[in-house]
Structure 1
Amino acid sequence: MNMQVNAVMAPPAPKSLEGMQLPIVMMRDIMIKSMFRTNMTIVSDIARVICLPIPVTQELIEIARSQRLIETIGMLSPNSAGELSYQLTDAGKARALEALTQSEYYGAMPVPMAVYAEQVKRQSIRNLQMTRDRLTSAMGHLILPPKLIGELGPAISAGRSILMYGPPGNGKSSISNGIRDALGDKIYVPRAVEYAGQVITVYDPIVHSAAEEDLDDPNAIRRTSGKFDTRYVKCERPTVITGGELSLDMLNLVYNPVARTYQAPLQLKATGGVFIVDDLGRQEDPPQKLVNRWIVPLEENRDILALQSGEKFEVPFDTLVIFSTNFHPNEIFDQAALRRIFYKIKIDGPNKQDFLKIFAMIAKKKGMPLDEASLVHLLKNKYPTIENTYANYQPGFLIDQIISICEFEGLHYHMTPELVDRAWANLFVKDEVIVK
């Protein structure tokens, strides 16, 4: 199993305040707000909270001291390794409260948008080179025709956009998850970014899986200082999965008017990873409208967001977008929209041979012995009633039904034609008129 992965270059830790490319007043205010909210007093603790190296944090403390916002209160204890202890002066507390009315944000110092854009290039999803072995291994739990792997591989390597379509229940969602698993490497996600003095939080523990070795702990600054910029979190490539709940509003900056803070929209959180739009066509917004929203990002690798003031600005767009739908593309898109989606891949149901492979694999996994008479009954008597239309979800559904019946009746797991009939009855609902 081989996949060419260029090691992602880590963002270097800032060496000075000047190299931060952020306004001094903004950095000072975030630090004193953090001190006010967390009651941290020694430099190493303050540095850990604002995610800066200790020397840079000390520079910031000295600026605040010169402005009489912070004062030294001596050594904290023998355990403080000789570090000085600091506290906010009355003027510092007043300034912290004033700054909190402007924005409740405190903690990790943000990364300027332009600096973040450079890191996005260094860890672009388009730098990955997928191989057949790697993709096949990630899809190992699925029975897929070799042709399909051959279509998916180049699409993933291109890192552009994929439309998967076909009848429901044939693994489009599972294939999307397999693509995510095949990516394999790690990138650096900023805790927050800055644009025009506004802070936008990006890192989201629900979306981003932090690499275990880089999780924060009380000694993180001492252990990793200089290793990489701790304003970032080293993570698995992110995956955002949305379905029928997706709306155009969810692709805008999320503004909290009480805290006066911004949160990144879903597609910005997915930068460097995969954005999956499942069940396209089930959303309140029409599919055409949703895809129109993606035209600029898909073609130009940049997205446009807007602040509360109405000011618009660019953010990097480096995401593999996967649209998945049960509709035929021509039903929900015009040709102009289809041109913007680089790869269109039909996901069909299995043929009889693959259906039997899936059935046998799931039965073995669930401890259900196969029975030839029951399988013959299923294929000869039941499937002709639905024109031999096989779907990937059906084996698991039928086997789970039989297991439930066996457990209820106090029987050991086994198959019979009668049990197949009882399971089949729950696979479809008969068309009939209900008399009210």
Structure 2
Amino acid sequence: MSMMKSPPVDVGVEPPPPCRNMEDTGLSKVMMRDILLKTMFRSNADTVGQLERALCLPSRVTQELIDNARDAGLLEAMGTLHATSGNEMAYRLSDQGKARALDALAQSEYYGAMPVPMHIYAKQVKRQSIRNIQITRKQLTEAMGHLILPPELLDHLGPAVGSGRSILMYGPPGNGKSSISNGIRDALGEKIYVPRAIEYSGQVITVYDPIVHSAAEDQVDDPLSLRRTSNAFDRRYVRCDRPTVITGGELSLDMLDLVYNKTARTYTAPLQLKSTGGVFIVDDLGRQAEPPQALINRWIVPLEESKDILALQSGEKFEVPFDTLVIFSTNFHPNDIFDKAALRRIFFKIKIDGPSQENFLKIFALVAKKKGMKLDEAALVHLLKRKYPTIDNVYANYQPVFLIDQMIAICDFEGIPYRMTPELIDRAWANMFVKDETIVH
């Protein structure tokens, strides 16, 4: 049930400082030079302005990199100015530069934005840690404004979200565990900085993913302007909303490992690394092919030590920061799918139950109003006194939307105005449950 809500306040985090020279990038000169050559070989970028945007470096660092490559005989100035690029000097690869670019491409097809070394990225993760957020009752209430929740549930959710620790939400299906997870994501509000790629041991791991990361506006400077607003932070990062990764029954253990592209010879970050600084939601826990206990065991070290262990193709293992609010959501009772040691490692356990009859009626009335259907006393009495006793008066949050949508579909089919009657309640109810019977084949 959706209603308008105020956008969360973006209080901001400390940005990664811009690079003043090649040394500030933390990368080796050889790696930077190879990425420059590959970028020029694979794209049309040939001026400082074009290359600084492609490499995500400030112009002075880009010029330093070009000069370095020219001194090595890999680049040469074309001796012409680009009228469309602020009369900038154009450059091209020398024969030696082309040979070096091809050799570098054989090692790795990665080109474009300079990666951020892992140790530098780890410092930025600390600056924008999910555990640094301060969330108020007002923020959480506004983010959950589209849901009818008992006040005591927010009493439990608030400290859990504010801690940035793991949360297990459990309870019967259809009561909004997924919606609550999304509300938690909305409550986080502020923007953080996500690296386009990170570097470890000479290997490039791409992190920024437009599907996962919602980028804020990208600033592009006028090359003729003296004021360079885009250099307010290291452009190797993208300023984004705190990311959210949602997985369900498709989650498998290998999705939590580095993905190696044999053709491009580069790596893609696994889901939990992409969600750093944000939320990782494991929905429908217990429906995956992997046993829930195995999934939890995979998370034990990250949850306890705030670091994860990944492995390169060579077998070399290395640490990456683990700074994610992990939300597990399940329809099973925790004791049925976890042992006590696993449960102990999940910091908060919150039961999401069905609504009381009073809250059910509130939700029903709100949904009916939104969908343009007038409430009918006889129909409601029939629903509460005749239908719900047949299922032991067990109410669920999904039921008002389901029943009203069914009645609307029937009215549309019959060509009658939207209405609520005992007969329509019966017809809608018949579609909500499947009758227990044996089907003969």
Shorter-chain TM-score above 0.5: yes
Counterpart for residue 346 of structure 1: 351
SS at match of 2:408: helix
- Pick the aligned partner of 2:323 from 309, 318, 321: 318
Counterpart for residue 69 of structure 2: 64
> Is the contact between residue 32 and residue 88 of structure 1 (CA under 8 Å) also seen in structure 2?
yes
The CA deviation at 1:328 is: 0.2
Counterpart for residue 282 of structure 1: 287
| CA distance in structure 1 between the partners assigned to 2:279 and 2:406 by the alignment | 34
The CA deviation at 1:303 is: 0.5
| CA distance in structure 1 between the partners assigned to 2:147 and 2:409 by the alignment | 24
Determine if the alignment matches structure 1 residue 366 to structure 2 residue 371. Answer: yes
Which whole-Å deviations, capped at 9, do the CAs of 1:274-325 have from their partners, x for residues lacking one? 0000000000000000000000100000000000000000000110000000
Counterpart for residue 262 of structure 1: 267
The CA deviation at 1:81 is: 2.4
Which whole-Å deviations, capped at 9, do the CAs of 1:346-381 have from their partners, x for residues lacking one? 000001000000001111111111111100000000
TM-score, normalised to structure 1, is: 0.97
Q: Superposed, which structure 2 residues align to 1:80-95 within 5 Å?
A: 80-95=85-100
| CA distance in structure 1 between the partners assigned to 2:142 and 2:185 by the alignment | 12
Which whole-Å deviations, capped at 9, do the CAs of 1:20-70 have from their partners, x for residues lacking one? 111111000001100111121111101100000011011111111111110
| CA distance in structure 2 between the partners assigned to 1:158 and 1:131 by the alignment | 12
- Pick the aligned partner of 1:243 from 227, 245, 248: 248
| Aligned residue identity for 1:202 | V
> Is the contact between residue 18 and residue 231 of structure 2 (CA under 8 Å) also seen in structure 1?
yes
> Is the contact between residue 3 and residue 131 of structure 1 (CA under 8 Å) also seen in structure 2?
no
The CA deviation at 1:74 is: 1.8
> Is the contact between residue 374 and residue 416 of structure 1 (CA under 8 Å) also seen in structure 2?
yes
| Aligned residue identity for 1:193 | I
| Aligned residue identity for 1:414 | R
Determine if the alignment matches structure 1 residue 410 to structure 2 residue 415. Answer: yes
The CA deviation at 1:130 is: 1.1
- Pick the aligned partner of 2:218 from 214, 238, 252: 214
% of aligned pairs identical?
72
> Is the contact between residue 2 and residue 134 of structure 1 (CA under 8 Å) also seen in structure 2?
no
- Pick the aligned partner of 1:228 from 226, 233, 241: 233
The CA deviation at 1:219 is: 6.4
The CA deviation at 1:220 is: 12
SS at match of 2:431: coil
The CA deviation at 1:129 is: 1.0
Determine if the alignment matches structure 1 residue 327 to structure 2 residue 332. Answer: yes
| Aligned residue identity for 1:14 | C
SS at match of 2:168: strand
| CA distance in structure 2 between the partners assigned to 1:418 and 1:219 by the alignment | 71
| Aligned residue identity for 2:419 | H
SS at match of 1:85: strand
Kindly tell me: are residues 216 and 201 of structure 1, through their superposed partners in 2, closer, same or farther at Cα, counting changes over 3 Å? farther
| CA distance in structure 2 between the partners assigned to 1:389 and 1:319 by the alignment | 35
Q: Superposed, which structure 2 residues align to 1:159-174 within 5 Å?
A: 159-174=164-179
> Is the contact between residue 242 and residue 277 of structure 2 (CA under 8 Å) also seen in structure 1?
yes
Counterpart for residue 141 of structure 2: 136
- Pick the aligned partner of 2:191 from 186, 211, 215: 186
| CA distance in structure 2 between the partners assigned to 1:402 and 1:215 by the alignment | 50
Q: How many residues in Structure 1 have an aligned counterpart in Structure 2?
A: 435
| CA distance in structure 1 between the partners assigned to 2:39 and 2:177 by the alignment | 45
Counterpart for residue 43 of structure 1: 48
Determine if the alignment matches structure 1 residue 75 to structure 2 residue 80. Answer: yes
Which whole-Å deviations, capped at 9, do the CAs of 1:185-207 have from their partners, x for residues lacking one? 00000000000000000000000
- Pick the aligned partner of 1:391 from 374, 387, 396: 396
> Is the contact between residue 3 and residue 130 of structure 1 (CA under 8 Å) also seen in structure 2?
no
> Is the contact between residue 9 and residue 189 of structure 2 (CA under 8 Å) also seen in structure 1?
no
Counterpart for residue 23 of structure 1: 28
Gaps of 5+ in 2: 1-5
> Is the contact between residue 2 and residue 131 of structure 1 (CA under 8 Å) also seen in structure 2?
no
Kindly tell me: are residues 299 and 165 of structure 1, through their superposed partners in 2, closer, same or farther at Cα, counting changes over 3 Å? same
| Aligned residue identity for 2:209 | D
* Comparing 174-183 and 84-93, the one that deviates more: 84-93
The CA deviation at 1:6 is: 5.1
| CA distance in structure 1 between the partners assigned to 2:248 and 2:222 by the alignment | 39
Kindly tell me: are residues 309 and 418 of structure 1, through their superposed partners in 2, closer, same or farther at Cα, counting changes over 3 Å? same
The CA deviation at 1:104 is: 0.5
| Aligned residue identity for 1:8 | V
Q: CA RMSD in A?
A: 1.7
Which whole-Å deviations, capped at 9, do the CAs of 1:195-230 have from their partners, x for residues lacking one? 00000000000000001x226688699743421111
Counterpart for residue 400 of structure 1: 405
The CA deviation at 1:7 is: 2.8
> Is the contact between residue 11 and residue 228 of structure 1 (CA under 8 Å) also seen in structure 2?
yes
Counterpart for residue 210 of structure 2: 205
| CA distance in structure 2 between the partners assigned to 1:85 and 1:297 by the alignment | 48
Determine if the alignment matches structure 1 residue 291 to structure 2 residue 291. Answer: no
| CA distance in structure 2 between the partners assigned to 1:277 and 1:79 by the alignment | 49
| CA distance in structure 1 between the partners assigned to 2:379 and 2:410 by the alignment | 15
Kindly tell me: are residues 225 and 132 of structure 1, through their superposed partners in 2, closer, same or farther at Cα, counting changes over 3 Å? closer
Kindly tell me: are residues 216 and 254 of structure 1, through their superposed partners in 2, closer, same or farther at Cα, counting changes over 3 Å? farther
SS at match of 2:246: strand
Determine if the alignment matches structure 1 residue 379 to structure 2 residue 375. Answer: no
| CA distance in structure 2 between the partners assigned to 1:408 and 1:189 by the alignment | 50
| CA distance in structure 2 between the partners assigned to 1:23 and 1:416 by the alignment | 74
| Aligned residue identity for 1:148 | L
| CA distance in structure 2 between the partners assigned to 1:216 and 1:251 by the alignment | 35
| Aligned residue identity for 2:176 | G
TM-score, normalised to structure 2, is: 0.96
Kindly tell me: are residues 411 and 383 of structure 1, through their superposed partners in 2, closer, same or farther at Cα, counting changes over 3 Å? same
| Aligned residue identity for 2:204 | V
